[in-house]
Structure 1
Amino acid sequence: MDYFHYTYKHNHINFSSHIYKVSTYHYNWHGETEILILLKGRIEMSCNSEVFTMEPLDTIIISPQVGHATLALEEDTTALVIHVGKEFFQQFDPNFGMYQFVLRSNQDNRYNSFFSSLRHHAATMMLLMMNGESPANQLWLENHYLALASDLYSEIDAVKSIRGNTKPVDMTVATFDKMIAYIDKNYQQKIELEDIAKIGGYNVNYTSQFFKRQLGVSFLEYLLRMRLREATVRLANSEDGVAHIASSCGFADIKAFNVAFKKHFHTTPSEYRKQAKELGRKTKLHDWKEIISTQEQDIVELLQSFLPYQADTRYKADLDVANQKLKAVTTQLENVVNSLKV
């Protein structure tokens, strides 16, 4: 069975892409520029200490080394993700690795020219890769990739900032990465904030503040969501008893598990398991992500709906006004030049 999970490398082009079912919680901190397009459902996004909700068709572009996390707010929430290595943009802009940026759509600009074009190119790329790597497909794929990258860079160039010198008391990327890696490996065991602080060599209060600033959630909330994420996978993919799943995922007892599960998902673990099995979506796990099968016709049809697109009329109107102003200024300059000649 084929899945929407691809890596493409050819000459100076190098990117990866996938379509996945957003899980209960997924934290990312990586060296690539990320483009996330929400295809179905709603998610809570934590990015740069800001927490906000993304609606269907919303898009976010995140610079390398900016921590971010997603939490599904609805069942069957699905997203398309493309990762572009900073080396690609550094071929054209050597300073690209220093930039920090976050671009995202909302109800005001969701359908403007840029985001509509981005969805168009991303969907076309996924469909072309789904159909195989023939020479013709590769040429079209690279054409759409370069169009997407050029549009993307233009938007980034307008909002980018260069990260200032890190304060001596600030944690480095590597140090915080070690903390996250420790939690991700040991969340099934008892972990205290003091344990995490010792890894970085910082005091408990500062570690707590930095953790909240980077993820938008507290250490305890992150730990809880990691445990819930593991529990949802086991509920959907095993026949283990609920009590066994609770204890093996790090919960003190089944009561604590049930309370936390009901709070986050508004349903019981048993009901969640029943719904997951009835849904029966074809997925596979990769890096804790449930990758969607290319046989899922609703996803294929959604991608196909992005192929034709029109620029936002509001954007066109702004462009028309700008062009009119440009023409007026050009005329004035021509008049000045002519008067000087006289």
Structure 2
Amino acid sequence: MDSPRAEFYVEHNPPARRAETRQYVYDIGSYHYNWHPQIELLVILGGKVELCAAGGVAVLGRGDVAVLNSNEGHATMSLEAGPGASSAQALLLHLDPDYVSSFNSGVIPHFACRSTPRTQGNAEFRRLRAMSARLMEEGLKAGPAAAARREALLAEIVATLFESFHDPAVFPVALMGEEGYVEVLRRATGYIEEHYRERLTLKQLAQRAGYSPTYFSEIFSSHMGIPLSEHITRVRLAQAVRMLGETDLTITDVARESGFPDVKAFGVAFKRAFNKTASQYRRQLRELAERGVDLGQVDETFHERFAHPEEQLGDHPGPHGGGVSAEEHRRVLEQVRELGEQAALVGERLARLADG
């Protein structure tokens, strides 16, 4: 009796995926505490950077790679300038959570991805550096071939993250939510942004939204990815960090002006978020200034001066009006290319060794 014949025949009918990304090179200044739905892939191009995320602090250097997960509160600060720059620089890629979760049954994954001096040379980090660099370069090109290569690189980056860094034991805080609550949550978060100095309660915000406190709390947590109380605390911390760097207000005054009920509550929240006290952070800023690291100048154009994949070489304005000279643009692009070339060379050497 003949055995069944194996046939190499496969049909692939993937779901429609929205592969939206944002990628750019930017100067890192002092802490700008923020969080967002996008998954962020960060590659340090030059200098040293202090990364604060998930209540921990790490120092990253040139070539280090880190992932900041969806709605993970984080802040970065330049500790040492890169060659020819006024501060450290990073290549950043924002991945749309809809796109990434489409490979994971609609669930936003958690990636435990952060290189160290010991692991920076591992194959998975080399791949992420090389593909991030190539993605940036393909973004500078036009035409269908470049667009196809860009989408292929994006898919390969996501595949590497799932293959090497996916942590299924960490259940995501939120699933992708329905669109019906977007406007309600937009109004709620807008109100918090305007009234963070005031006493804000769940009951008060739920009444404004037209829901019971319990239901509104569930909506907020499931769609925003963090509890309402945590969101309010983060908004207040973001304001406090700005005031610590830009004003001479006392710690007590900073706590009051940023909406915390007292300096003790502010101290607990700040230490939990940044693993240091507010006084230690302010002292750190002053020590950096004494060493010639001018974070104030960088902060004035934070995320306004960068080499964007949509731009061409030459003098041009950024999307917020900050000019980038041709010389500076060439320098940062050279840093991107160099990282990609180094990773490719190491990969070629390993391939030759594997082939004998």
Once the two structures are aligned, what percentage of the paired residues are identical?
18
Aligned residue number for residue 339 of structure 2: 306
Q: Unpaired runs of 5+ in structure 1?
A: 1-9, 166-175, 202-209, 232-244, 253-258, 321-342
Paired residues for 1:77-226 under 5 Å: 77-97=88-108, 99-130=109-140, 132-158=141-167, 161-163=170-172, 191=197, 195=199, 223-226=239-242
Q: Is the 8 A contact 2:188 2:205 kept in 1?
A: yes
Question: Secondary structure at the residue paired with 1:73?
Answer: strand
Contact 1:22-1:70 within 8 A present in 2 as well: yes
Q: Secondary structure at the match of 1:144?
A: helix
Change (3 A) 1:299 1:142: same
Q: How many residues align?
A: 255
Seen in structure 2, the aligned counterparts of structure 1 residues 267 and 52 have a Cα distance that, compared at 3 Å, is: closer
Shift of 1:272: 7.0
Question: Structure 1, residues 96-140: CA drift from partner, whole Å, max 9, x if none?
Answer: 22x33331111111111111111111111112222x322232222
Q: In the alignment, is the contact (CA less than 8 A) between 2:25 and 2:90 conserved in 1? A: yes
Higher strand share: 1
Map 1:1-342 to 2 at 5 A. Answer: 12-75=18-81, 76-97=87-108, 99-130=109-140, 132-158=141-167, 161-163=170-172, 191=197, 195=199, 223-227=239-243, 231=246, 263-266=284-287, 285=301, 288-293=302-307, 295=326, 296=328, 297-308=330-341, 309=343
Deviation at 1:159, TM superposition (A): 5.3
> Aligned equivalents of 2:173 and 2:236: distance in 1?
30
Question: How far did residue 90 of structure 1 move?
Answer: 2.8
- Give me the TM-score of the superposition, normalised by structure 2: 0.56
Instruction: Give deviations 1:221-272, integer Å, cap 9, x for gaps.
Output: 754421255x4xxxxxxxxxxxxx769xx989xxxxxx98664142669x77
1:81 is displaced (CA, Å) by: 1.0
User: For the residues of structure 2 that align with 1:183 and 1:197, how far apart are their CA atoms?
Assistant: 10
Question: What is the DSSP-based 3-state SS (H/G/I as helix, E as strand, rest coil) of the residue aligned with 2:305?
Answer: strand
Deviations 1:60-79, CA, capped at 9 Å, x for gaps: 11221222222222341111
Taking a change above 3 Å as real, the CA distance of residues 184 and 70 of structure 1, as seen in their structure-2 partners, is farther
Q: CA deviation at 1:143?
A: 2.4
Q: In structure 1, what is the Cα distance between the partners aligned to 2:234 and 2:102?
A: 38
For the structure 1 residues 261 and 157, does the alpha-carbon distance in structure 2 shift closer, same or farther, using more than 3 Å as the test? closer
Q: Which amino acid is the alignment partner of residue 287 of structure 2?
A: H
Can you list the C-alpha shifts for 1:6-61, whole angstroms capped at 9, x where unaligned?
A: xxxx9642211111111211222211111111111222222112222222211111
**Alpha-carbon offset, residue 92 of structure 1:** 2.4
Aligned to 1:204: none
CA distance in 2, matches of 1:39, 1:214: 32
TM-score between both structures, scaled by the size of structure 1: 0.58
Secondary structure of 1:108's match? coil
- Residue 3 of structure 1 is matched in structure 2 by none
Task: Describe the shift of the 1:218–1:150 C-alpha distance in structure 2 as closer, same or farther (beyond 3 A).
Answer: closer
Contact (CA 8 Å) 2:53, 2:74: kept in 1 or not? yes
Q: Distance in 2 between matches of 1:133 and 1:31?
A: 29
Aligned-partner Cα distance in 1 for 2:186–2:237: 17
Taking the aligned partners of 1:180 and 1:147, their CA distance within structure 2 comes to: 35
Q: 1:218 to 1:15 in 2, by over 3 A?
A: closer
Query: Hey, what's the Cα distance between the residues in 2 that align with 1:139 and 1:17?
Result: 17
1:106 counterpart SS class: coil
CA distance in 1, matches of 2:61, 2:205: 36
The 1:218–1:179 alpha-carbon spacing in structure 2 relative to 1, beyond 3 Å, is: same
Q: Distance in 2 between matches of 1:124 and 1:34?
A: 17
Once the two structures are TM-superposed, the CA of residue 84 in structure 1 deviates from its matched residue by 1.0
Distance 1:179 1:79, change over 3 A: farther
Q: How many Å separate the matches in 2 of 1:46 and 1:74?
A: 16
Stretch of structure 1 that moved more, 144-153 or 304-313: 304-313
- Tell me if the contact between 1:262 and 1:268 (Cα under 8 Å) persists in the aligned partners: no
Cα 1:267/1:33, change in 2 over 3 Å: closer
